[in-house]
Amino acid sequence: MPEHSTSDRKPPSVVVVGGGYGGIAVAKALDEVADVVLVDPKDSFEHNVAALRALVDPSWSSRIRFSYDGLLKRGRVIRDRAVQVDSRRVVLESGKELVPDFIVLATGSSYPFPGNSGAEDAREAAARFRDGHDALAGADRVLLLGAGPVGIELAGEIAAAWPAKHVTIVDVVDDLLGGRFKVELRQELRRQLEQHGVELVLGSPLSEPPPTPPSVAGAFTVATEAGTEITADLWFRCYGVTPRSDYLAAELAAARTPDGFIEVTPTLQLPGHPKVFALGDVSTLNPKMAGYAGVQAQLVASNIRALIDGEELEQSEPMGEVILVTVGPEGGAAQLPDRDDIAGPETAAQYKSRDMMVDRFRAMFDAAPSSE
C-alpha cells in the first residue's frame, strides 16, 4: 500500500473562542494550515477602536462593523457562545460540542459604553450609539470619569464635534494615562486637550458617584474629595476592563486568577496544557490594547504552526511602551518604538485619527468600501 505524503494528511483543527482583535488575527493566520473554527456570539466584528467616533457621528456605527463572512477562506465562523471549555473540547450554548486539536481563548473583556457598544447584534449596537449621541447632543456639560486613553479620546471627539460643550475629565491619578509613558507624551496630550477647552480635574476621586446612570441625560453636581465641584448634564465611565473567562471548566480553572484573567506561559499556553492558548484582554498579558493583541495573535499562530511541524516554540518578548492616543479627527500624539521623540498630531492623524484604522479592517474582512 503506498505511503501518503504529508500533504495528504488531514489538517489539524483549531477552535478560536472569541472574535475580537486577537481572535480574528489568529484565525486568519492559521486559515491556510488548519481547519479553523471561530466561535463568537456577535453577528459581526465591532472595531472598538472607532467606537467613540460612532458616538459623536452615528453614521460610523455601520462603518465599524464587519461581517465575519469575509474573514476566512477555508475555515468557518459559528455564531454561538462557549459555555464550557476544557483542554480537549469546547461546549457551546446551543449544545454543540467541538473537539479540536488546539484551542485558542480570545474572549477579551467587557468595557463600558461607549468604548464598546456591548451589543451582539449590529442593529442593537447602532441603536445604542444613536441613543448615546442624542443624549450627548443635548448636553452642555459632560463629565468623563477616567483619564486613560478612552477618556482622553472621548474628550477629543466631543470637543471636535461640539466645540461649545464643556468637557471635564476627573481621575484619582495625578496625570493623564496614569502617569505611564513618557512625560513628553502626557504633556502634549494635555496641551491639546486644554487647547480644546477640556478641563482636567486630577489627583482626587469623586466623593460620591453621579446620581444618574452613565450615558443617560440628567443634570447633577458632584464634588471630588479635594472639594472641587463639577456640574454636568451627562457622564460616561471611561475605565474598567472585566475579562470574560467564566466558561473555563474545572480542569483549566487553576489558570484563572482571582480577578478573572487567564494565566499564560511565555509561549502563551495555559500552564500544564500545551494545546490551549490564551491572548489579549482575557489573558494576564499587559497592556490591554488592540495592537498588542495582534502581536500576541501572531505568536500564538506561529507556535501552533510549530507544534504541528514539531518545531521549537517561540516565547513572548517584553514590548516597549507604545501608544497612539487621538484627540479628535486631526489631533493626538504617539509614543512609537522607532523614535525617541514624541509623534504629534500630524502623525497621529495619518495613522489613526482620521480614519480610525477602518480601512485596515475593511481589507482584513475583504469588505466593500462604506457608502457613508
Residue range 250-264, pLDDT digits in tens: 999 999 999 999 999
φ/ψ of 172, rounded to 5, equals -70, -25
* Pair 35, 123: CB distance under 8 Å: no
Q: Give the residue-averaged pLDDT of 185-192.
A: 98
Percentage of the chain modeled with pLDDT above 70: 97
Percentage of the chain modeled with pLDDT above 90: 90
- pLDDT of 291 reads 82
Cell match 466558561: residue?
247
> Which H helix or E strand runs over 184?
helix 183-195
- pLDDT of 370 reads 57
**74 CB-near residues (< 8 Å, 6+ apart):** 31, 32, 35, 36
Cell match 466623593: residue?
207
* Pair 274, 293: CB distance under 8 Å: no
The span from the CA of 38 to the CA of 30, in Å, is 11
As beta bridge partners, residue 231 has 221
The span from the CA of 257 to the CA of 115, in Å, is 25
348: nearest Cα among 359, 357, 361, 340: 357
Q: What's the chain's Rg over C-alpha atoms?
A: 22
| Residue 338 confidence class, pLDDT cut points 50, 70, 90 | confident
174-to-170, 178, 184, 239, 266 alpha-carbon distances in Å:
10, 7, 15, 16, 33
Q: Which domains does the chain carry?
A: 6-41+80-111+241-309 (3.50.50.60), 125-239 (3.50.50.60)
114-to-48, 93, 335 alpha-carbon distances in Å:
9, 27, 25
pTM score, two decimals? 0.93
* Pair 77, 71: CB distance under 8 Å: yes
Q: Give the residue-averaged pLDDT of 138-161.
A: 98
